[in-house]
Structure 1
């Protein structure tokens, strides 16, 4: 049992404002050490050192949680870092995500963006005795040479500052009730990319291209005269004239400033991150790309899904989706990593979580984030649009709800269960799921005067960024918000009933009756004889994939008709996730591949033809004539539209897990070969082993090779014919 929770919160006597704060403690070790552990957390983000050596590879710890209820502490094994005699423990603390102006994150004793530390060094000696060195007023503090730090704006380090004056730390009364042991996965530096190209723009700007948009920061080596300010500005794209473009960062300055002491230096930021492909270098006379390294930072996640095929543009798109996930899975699933937002938008996560669980092992990542979501849930069951919650983007009785966004409370636990087959996921997040579904039902009953109706019609985000009009700038799309909310209400009720059966719980409400009432309302309000009254792709898609139509053949034909009429995708965040699945259900795989392979604007591959290395937020991020979309909302690293990659795995490659035997314990290999893609190869490292699919076109048909994991059972369906498969590699040849 550690005494960590008996430690005292400490801060600097002086308010260091925008600067980071360093905390110091000298420890004298006089006996042989058997083991030692540093138990630590911070009001801010920290980096810890013992005898000038970094304690851990983790960065930006303790990460971002719903701070009023959940602040993680971490325990590090530091046995090998201690020496006999005097040892110095130094902990630097920057603002981190506490820079958000959230009133409830601060108190009279500690402002919301003020650095504070709480830790205990536990030393266990070979003779069985134990020393515990907690934070208290025997520690010292100093203003860091990182004189400015802010998640959005960046960091400034003054290398001229060597030893700031140390003062005695101040003990403060600040809650420990929200402290929890570390859960989830740490954030770490993952990859290093060298600068690949030096660019002199038409405006004379000095730019380095790393060839890939990433989330992280730049480490660089340089020498400049004393007092020189070197500024590194981070950005995503060059404008159509080849100049630096930063308007889409909105208020984020996204800069790293180094003030030289006149000596050679190698530096990188400590308390922030950036989303960028390019950097502009200001203040250095000689700039060489090889002296600049982009460091990729994201949560620790094992790669599990791999896709490749005969179409190189599709391969690049699949890589872009993976990079987009890496760039936005930094302790929370964010919308974007570059502008003054970088928030845990629930709708993005809801639509992408299935794909996320194919690309990487995200079980622990989502488990942690869903715990934060439950912490932010109100008593009535309503939820925020972003998690962790900040003062903006609220919800509930005095705000507004948005279908799909808050439905992540049901979608994400279910998709994690299907991916990993662990009922404990459903059990842990059952209260979150049930409270949300009950809230939706209650809203539907309230709107219907006691009968089921749509939960909401006003407000919300709708089919966000759909593109019914090729050149529109509107954001919510044409699909009726009431239709979307009703469809997801039906999905939520149906899923909760399924979870109740899996967990052996009794329905404590008439969920079947509510489901039937919801479906009846959907059909009467939004359909006529199997056709959607509203002629949007998303309307038909939701009716098909959620089983809401009473005449499936008619609705499926309507969708196919709509796609052929437009010849392109018109859906937004909501419809895009399910569109190709709906076309598969409609027996229109060829039409699905038409959309997938389209390179003209708008399409999945259009950004690839424009040089994209991640997935764009908007279909029209860059118009064909080179114009940018509205800079107020135009991220070039947004993973939502990458959700189609799950269809590429499950249908194009055909690796489809059975939801009744989750965790890939039962797999149906049911690929959709298309001669325009002569070969497809995909694999998923599942909890049962590697599941893999490969097929190629031959002179007289197709050759298939399916790998069944040791812990799975599987069958195949090829061109409508069923095959039994054994564990291991199975080869099937089909004549044309």
Structure 2
């Protein structure tokens, strides 16, 4: 019995989305098959108003001959608001098989037209409750329903943050609603299914309302009321009865308002909760609200209300502390063992008036005391005052903290030890699907990957922020664009970035400039590599998910950014004006400077070329023929001007920084012999710093890529595995569980970098993950067929410290796995390719006659479409399925490295040598790659395989090679 099944149906990236406002939503699915090489040949989609039997069909595509299974646009009759639509899918494959209909899925529309809002914005009467009062507002409405209910939905939003309650229970598990957008231009509303929460008699809706991003403290300048000065809520309950009639309950002047136990709540500073002020039953019937105040209709400065676009923020994990201790300064501190973002859920039994204070921090100082200096003005303090009526439980409502350590004051009997089970950490972030896995034989690299993931979780709280602890937490554009490819491997970011780039477009300046942060809450705009997020982020969403609609939607924004650059200064092909962050935090800058040594005009012009290239490529995808030509020519001119300005006549870069070389190579600004020379010089710059980097935010994400792609992969691996400052693993040696903002956030002596800018949870340098997944594990895509429709798996091995590397990614088509294990005897590759895709594979250093899949030779293997020998190994094209390839590793390929040496690095491998034991080394010299050294054979120096050599013997070989080099150099001179 064969198996062909359609699974994982999604609508606009979501499974059964409740409350979307698109008239033509897009549908996607995956295919499961028990046969290798399965491709979709045709599909059929049906949409119905009824789930059972699909009898009331609205739309039937019929059989469509196509391999497309992503983003199929609904083209049936116009959708109706507040309606659930069911759909199912069947497919036909290339083996002539027809699947059964999939299980049904659905989407439900919200309010498709703004005119359908009957609710009013309401706020407490300012004459009775001051609009600037610090306590959170509480609003309630009692109402009666008299018929049997078929369905009920609440559509709600707020300026400030709101939580919704109905008949004594919180509605939904979302936090920090309605999220952070460019509120003046667009604000999200949420849809809640409350059918099961309503009574056929008396009901009460309750809302708690706090400042949040709308009017709370944002940025380091103590700004408040950036968007408005008055909290408000707008809510609409739509009830449909069994008899077909409907009733609407809205926010209006009949509601009542009060304040309660949340006396203060701010993102940076924390929350104060006085349980003595709780009004028990405030969101239930029979509560006496005669002392409550009135509400009034208000008109916040909001122009557009849209249904929720991104993933809600939720509690995604709970963590118990691993220990408690008393510091040398006498503070009681608990350690959660992980730098996390979220809140503490506190449980206690204490006398009335007991005040517990929690102060959150990321690290301890060198003496073991809790360190708050890097928080700057942020207090990160939560206070709870007990009411004394038995067991009490509390977690903050409208704030979050970044922390590993918590200083506790006032917990009952804490001098005799804390009950750690009563102090639970709740991890909070945008609830994205985990899609990436990466592991190796090196435990420190595995910890680095965990640090990258935790950094992403902590900083993806509705927007991609730069740090989750200090008085900042802003959507820095530069950080987002350097990390996006890594981010989209680890988590499904389709919804997350769709919402954020729409905010970027909304906040883009009339001249095309892009603010430093999105949403815009600080002054300043249009730095190179920061504003380029307008182009880089939509393009990467397209690459990872095949989202042409978002690319088309953002195209004008992308184009406006490139055109903004074009009119800067006197030469339209360079960018040498304005303020730029440059290679931010580059280590080659002046002492105590945030700015790296790479000139701003080089960085700016390089990114100008990069964005222009991506804009041209986007125009190609969108069939904008005229723009393809315009921006193709512009790109050529920018590259020519870059070479005129920054490349000497002898083919060197005029700027001798690592970042300058990285950008010239990564963005294809040089070619041929000049490219070879610049790659060689970059390698020398790394060797000159004993295999350490000096790059900042701009150069670091690409450094290992350009080394690996230009013949210096061994150097890239050594950079990754370097353990002393500055390096990725240095922070791991210091116990880091997230990525640091500064390479030496904690110095070797235990002291700190400056308090001014020293986050221990800052994902930018985590962009190394992209290289780890795409180069070490080799899991990549052919960008001509995005979303991993055509997969590329071409690993580059990592030496004895990385003998095993495995990456997997849940793509839109399904799970992709690239797993490699090297021993002295053999290489094993375990690959998983999802249905409806193909993959181009390279088995490095393999010989066609030696490779087996199971017990079969490659020419006999089902699923192998094409296979051939290349200089670099065995290349093949394969179809979907799981494969296990094995081939001999007779010469320790990928395992043999010399001891660390600044002069020569040897990777032993056979390259056409016919005599066993004859090895032609690839030698990278400090001076030039000398012809005599290229011809040198290891067999002339030693007559046994390199894998058998001791460190001492390898050092002897190196010394002999060095002697040959010295003699050759002497002859040349």
* TM-score interval, smaller chain: over 0.9
* Cα distance in 1 between the residues matched to 2:888 and 2:505: 53
* Cα distance in 2 between the residues matched to 1:38 and 1:370: 27
Deviation at 1:465, TM superposition (A): 1.0
Deviation at 1:705, TM superposition (A): 1.8
* Residue correspondence of structure 1 range 471-510 to structure 2 within 5 A: 472-508=591-627, 510=630
Deviation at 1:113, TM superposition (A): 4.3
* Cα distance in 2 between the residues matched to 1:174 and 1:642: 39
Deviation at 1:638, TM superposition (A): 0.3
* Cα distance in 2 between the residues matched to 1:100 and 1:269: 16
Confirm or deny that 1:370 pairs with 2:501.
Answer: yes
Q: Aligned to 2:277, which of 161, 164, 175?
A: 161
Alpha-carbon distance change, 716 to 96 in structure 1, aligned in 2, over 3 angstroms: same
* Residue correspondence of structure 1 range 254-265 to structure 2 within 5 A: 254-263=380-389, 264-265=391-392
Match of 1:150 in 2: 266
Match of 2:236 in 1: 120
Deviation at 1:126, TM superposition (A): 0.9
* Residue correspondence of structure 1 range 688-707 to structure 2 within 5 A: 688-707=813-832
Q: Aligned to 1:233, which of 359, 363, 372?
A: 359
* Cα distance in 1 between the residues matched to 2:550 and 2:831: 29
Task: Say if 2:439 and 2:806, in contact at 8 Å, map to a contact too.
Answer: yes
Q: Aligned to 1:8, which of 112, 120, 138?
A: 120
Match of 1:208 in 2: 334
Task: Say if 2:186 and 2:302, in contact at 8 Å, map to a contact too.
Answer: no
Task: Say if 1:4 and 1:119, in contact at 8 Å, map to a contact too.
Answer: no
Deviation at 1:208, TM superposition (A): 0.6
Unaligned runs of 5+ in 1: 104-108, 396-400
* Cα distance in 2 between the residues matched to 1:716 and 1:101: 52
Match of 2:434 in 1: 303
Match of 1:294 in 2: 425
Match of 1:76 in 2: 192
Alpha-carbon distance change, 624 to 102 in structure 1, aligned in 2, over 3 angstroms: closer
* Cα distance in 2 between the residues matched to 1:121 and 1:568: 60
Match of 2:580 in 1: 460
Match of 2:659 in 1: 538
SS in 1 for 2:738: coil
Deviation at 1:36, TM superposition (A): 0.6
Confirm or deny that 1:527 pairs with 2:652.
Answer: no
Please say which structure displays the higher CA radius of gyration: 2
Deviation at 1:699, TM superposition (A): 2.8
Task: Say if 1:5 and 1:176, in contact at 8 Å, map to a contact too.
Answer: no
SS in 2 for 1:447: coil
Deviation at 1:732, TM superposition (A): 2.5
* Cα distance in 2 between the residues matched to 1:33 and 1:545: 61
* Cα distance in 1 between the residues matched to 2:466 and 2:227: 27
Match of 1:561 in 2: 684
Deviation at 1:183, TM superposition (A): 1.1
Deviation at 1:102, TM superposition (A): 8.6
Confirm or deny that 1:137 pairs with 2:263.
Answer: no
Match of 1:592 in 2: 716
Deviation at 1:101, TM superposition (A): 6.3
Deviation at 1:330, TM superposition (A): 0.7
Q: Aligned to 2:701, which of 557, 568, 577?
A: 577
Q: Aligned to 1:710, which of 815, 819, 835?
A: 835
Q: Deviations over 1:227-271 (max 9, x none)?
A: 222111111001110111101000101011111112331000001
* Cα distance in 2 between the residues matched to 1:687 and 1:472: 47
SS in 1 for 2:263: strand
* Cα distance in 2 between the residues matched to 1:168 and 1:311: 63
Q: TM-score by structure 1 length?
A: 0.95
* Cα distance in 2 between the residues matched to 1:23 and 1:100: 19
Q: Deviations over 1:437-483 (max 9, x none)?
A: 1111222xx332xx5222x44522111111126x9432111111110
Match of 1:675 in 2: 799
Alpha-carbon distance change, 225 to 472 in structure 1, aligned in 2, over 3 angstroms: farther
Match of 2:96 in 1: none
Task: Say if 1:95 and 1:113, in contact at 8 Å, map to a contact too.
Answer: no
* Cα distance in 2 between the residues matched to 1:122 and 1:534: 65
Match of 1:394 in 2: 524
* Cα distance in 2 between the residues matched to 1:385 and 1:94: 27
* Aligned residue pair count: 719
Q: Aligned to 2:455, which of 310, 324, 330?
A: 324
Q: Deviations over 1:670-693 (max 9, x none)?
A: 101123211111111111211111
Deviation at 1:709, TM superposition (A): 1.7
Task: Say if 1:622 and 1:629, in contact at 8 Å, map to a contact too.
Answer: yes
Deviation at 1:724, TM superposition (A): 3.0
Q: Aligned to 2:633, which of 484, 509, 513?
A: 513
Task: Say if 2:451 and 2:736, in contact at 8 Å, map to a contact too.
Answer: yes
Confirm or deny that 1:20 pairs with 2:136.
Answer: yes
* Cα distance in 1 between the residues matched to 2:475 and 2:186: 16
* Cα distance in 1 between the residues matched to 2:457 and 2:150: 38
Task: Say if 2:837 and 2:879, in contact at 8 Å, map to a contact too.
Answer: no
* Cα distance in 2 between the residues matched to 1:112 and 1:282: 35
Match of 1:106 in 2: none
Alpha-carbon distance change, 545 to 596 in structure 1, aligned in 2, over 3 angstroms: same
* Cα distance in 1 between the residues matched to 2:773 and 2:311: 26
Task: Say if 2:335 and 2:404, in contact at 8 Å, map to a contact too.
Answer: yes
Match of 2:35 in 1: none
* Cα distance in 2 between the residues matched to 1:189 and 1:161: 26
* Residue correspondence of structure 1 range 171-186 to structure 2 within 5 A: 171-175=297-301, 177-186=303-312
Deviation at 1:5, TM superposition (A): 2.0
* Cα distance in 2 between the residues matched to 1:40 and 1:110: 22
Q: Which moved more, 1:673-682 or 1:49-58?
A: 673-682
* Cα distance in 2 between the residues matched to 1:486 and 1:684: 34
SS in 2 for 1:41: strand
* Cα distance in 2 between the residues matched to 1:225 and 1:332: 40
Deviation at 1:110, TM superposition (A): 12
Alpha-carbon distance change, 447 to 110 in structure 1, aligned in 2, over 3 angstroms: closer
* Cα distance in 2 between the residues matched to 1:57 and 1:515: 48
Q: Deviations over 1:389-440 (max 9, x none)?
A: 11x2322xxxxx3111110111111111111122222112111111111111
Q: Which moved more, 1:332-341 or 1:542-551?
A: 542-551
Task: Say if 1:497 and 1:507, in contact at 8 Å, map to a contact too.
Answer: no
Task: Say if 1:40 and 1:120, in contact at 8 Å, map to a contact too.
Answer: yes
Q: Which moved more, 1:126-135 or 1:158-167?
A: 158-167
Deviation at 1:726, TM superposition (A): 3.3
* Cα distance in 2 between the residues matched to 1:530 and 1:730: 45
Task: Say if 1:423 and 1:503, in contact at 8 Å, map to a contact too.
Answer: yes
* Cα distance in 2 between the residues matched to 1:425 and 1:549: 32
Match of 1:61 in 2: 177
* Cα distance in 2 between the residues matched to 1:102 and 1:603: 32
Deviation at 1:278, TM superposition (A): 1.0
Task: Say if 1:159 and 1:260, in contact at 8 Å, map to a contact too.
Answer: yes
SS in 1 for 2:827: strand
* Cα distance in 2 between the residues matched to 1:113 and 1:321: 38
Match of 2:399 in 1: 272
Deviation at 1:290, TM superposition (A): 1.4
Match of 1:251 in 2: 377
Unaligned runs of 5+ in 2: 1-80, 82-110, 220-224, 280-288, 846-871, 890-973
- The structure, 1 or 2, with the larger RCO (C-alpha pairs under 8 Å, 6+ apart) is 1
Match of 2:740 in 1: 616
SS in 1 for 2:567: helix
Deviation at 1:114, TM superposition (A): 2.9
Task: Say if 1:531 and 1:555, in contact at 8 Å, map to a contact too.
Answer: yes
Q: Which moved more, 1:674-683 or 1:323-332?
A: 674-683
* Cα distance in 2 between the residues matched to 1:503 and 1:130: 44
Q: Which moved more, 1:690-699 or 1:20-29?
A: 690-699
